[in-house]
Amino acid sequence: GGNKFINSKPALIMHDATIMNLNVLELAREFEAKKILFASSACVYPKEELLREEMAYPIKPENPYGLQKIFMENTNIIKMIQ
How many residues belong to the chain?
A: 82
Q: Is 39 helix (H, G, I), strand (E, B) or coil?
A: coil
Distance separating alpha carbons of residues 34 and 72, to the nearest angstrom: 18
Catalytic residue among 17, 44, 63, 65: 65
Comparing 25 with 73, the larger pLDDT belongs to 25
Binning pLDDT at 50, 70 and 90, where does residue 67 land? confident
Residue 5 CB neighbours (<10 A):
12
DSSP letter for 62, please. Answer: S
Is 57 marked active-site? no
Q: What is the pLDDT of residues 11-43, one digit of tens each?
A: 898 899 889 888 988 898 899 888 887 777 767
For residue 60, what are the contacts with CB-CB under 8 A and spacing of at least 6? 44, 45, 46
